[in-house]
Amino acid sequence: MNYFPFINKAKYFIKAGGENMQDYLDPRNAEGMPNLADSTFAMDFLISVKSGIRNYGFAITETTNPELRRVLAKQLEAALDLHGEISELMIKNKWLHPYNFKDQFPIDLKGAETAVQIAQMTLFPNDTDRGGMFATPNQ
């Protein structure tokens, strides 16, 4: 019995780099994915750190306790340093071009297109009937 019917039915037609991707489970269709995943994780981390920086700034302005203000300011400084390190890593790996829109736009467009392609994939079969694979309570 095939417990993973979606693997056999993995023939989807998705535009990928100008070509139709016939089978998204085929390893050759994963070309460039490790780099794309790394850049996505780095960007997510960068955005999270930016959010933390904003929140530290907000918290500093809202607190009246001088000791808490010092602690928050120290954490804010550490977050700013981390932001700089992540940005440098991304620039070095050519995942981020903060000063050149012409180079950054194709990277952002590729990421958006990939996200849309993944969202359009039918990863599971429409028929989810387990066909007796699991015990069913008497009805």
What mean pLDDT is predicted for residues 84-111?
Answer: 94
Four-CA torsion 105, 108, 112, 115, nearest 10 degrees: 160
At 75, the amino acid letter reads Q
- What's the pLDDT at 81? 98
- What's the pLDDT at 57? 97
Using 50, 70 and 90 to split pLDDT, how confident is the model at 130? low
Using 50, 70 and 90 to split pLDDT, how confident is the model at 37? confident
Burial class (CB in 10 A: 0-12, 13-18, 19+), 21: middle
* SS3 of residue 10 by DSSP: coil
What mean pLDDT is predicted for residues 98-126?
Answer: 85
- What's the pLDDT at 12? 33
Residue 113 token pair = 């297109």
**DSSP string of 101-131?**
HHHHHHHHHHHHHHHHHHHH---S-S----T
